[in-house]
């Protein structure tokens, strides 16, 4: 089992460009999450999907959109990237809900110039 | 003010020594408290999970303790190894996960 995989691993964008971060899990988990991690701060939840077909905003959703493509895949889209979105992005999955253990992907390091 | 505060921010110890990392939280009650290890360039990996009623949980050389009265948790690492160099993140679970900023540990030979 690969667990949670993310692509790409690194990305550099110019302000205003768009891109989609991909995430897939092979653990048959119902819930998936997108976080961002900034220096000196804890991980912050951007969006989550409690189950296939549903998505909800987290703590910092502005500037992002998500798509739960199927049970395995959950993508994060930046429509018009801004320097404030420079961060490391982690995807995670869990069996059910927020109180269960979450398994994290390796992260995507995004720089917006 | 963060609901989960960790100290110290960073720590350097020599290989073979023990160390203790601290986590203070204001969230109460909660479902569980977790400690994650995050190697550089990797995602966090769970070390221990304790419910509100548990006092201690071990995973090899890692021992987590929880004091619900003082709202403190600690992670004790015994006989440190170079591979213990990482960030250690305290996470409190209510209806969502609340992450501390982490303690960055460096183990030197």
B46-99 pLDDT tens trace: 999 998 888 999 999 999 999 988 999 999 999 999 999 999 999 998 878 899
**Hey, is A26 helix, strand or coil?**
coil
Kindly compute the dihedral angle of the four CA atoms of residues A32, B83, A11, A16, in this order, to the nearest 10 degrees: 70
pLDDT of res. A98:
58
* pLDDT tens per residue, range A82-96: 999 999 999 999 987
H/E run at residue B59: strand B56-59
For a pLDDT cut of 70, what percent of chain B falls above it? Answer: 98
Low-confidence ranges of chain A (pLDDT < 50): none
Identify the closest residue of chain B to A100 by CA–CA distance: B93
Please tell me the distance from the alpha carbon of residue A53 to that of residue A68, in angstroms, as a whole number.
Answer: 6
Verify whether the Cβ–Cβ distance B44 to A90 is below 8 Å. yes
Beta bridge pairs of residue B13: B107
pLDDT on residue B103: 97
By the 10 Å C-beta count (0-12 exposed, 13-18 middle, 19+ buried), B39 is classed as middle
Nearest-Cα distance to chain A for B17, in Å, is 26
Specify the pLDDT at position B1: 60
Phi, psi of B3 (to 5 degrees): -80, -20
Question: Can you give the pLDDT at residue A40?
Answer: 85
The set of residues, in sequence order, having a beta carbon less than 8 Å from that of B60 and lying 6+ positions away, is none
Cα nearest neighbour of B3 on chain A: A42
Residues A90/A32, Cβ–Cβ less than 8 Å: no
End-to-end CA distance of chain B: 36
A8 in contact with B, Cβ within 8 Å: no
A-chain residue closest to B90, CA distance = A42
């Amino acid at each position: 089992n690969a667990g949670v995989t993310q692509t790409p691993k690194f990305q550099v964008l110019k302000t205003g460009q768009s891109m989609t971060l991909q995430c897939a899990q092979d653990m048959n988990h119902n819930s998936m999450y997108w976080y961002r991690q900034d220096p000196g701060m804890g991980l912050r939840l951007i969006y989550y999907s409690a189950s296939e077909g549903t998505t909800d905003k987290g703590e910092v959703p502005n500037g992002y959109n998500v798509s739960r493509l199927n049970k395995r895949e959950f993508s994060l889209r930046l429509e018009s990237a801004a320097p404030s979105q420079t961060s490391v992005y982690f995807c995670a999955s869990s069996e059910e809900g927020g109180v269960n253990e979450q398994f994290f992907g390796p992260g995507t390091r995004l720089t917006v110039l | 003010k963060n609901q989960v505060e960790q100290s110290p921010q960073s720590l350097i110890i020599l290989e073979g020594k023990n160390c203790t990392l601290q986590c203070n939280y204001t969230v109460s009650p909660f479902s569980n408290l977790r400690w994650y290890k995050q190697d550089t360039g990797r995602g966090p990996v769970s070390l221990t999970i304790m419910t509100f009623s548990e006092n201690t949980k071990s995973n090899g050389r890692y021992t987590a303790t929880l004091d619900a009265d003082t709202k403190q948790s600690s992670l004790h690492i015994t006989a440190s190894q170079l591979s213990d160099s990482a960030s250690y993140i305290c996470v409190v679970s209510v209806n969502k996960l609340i992450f501390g900023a982490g303690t960055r540990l460096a183990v030197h030979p």
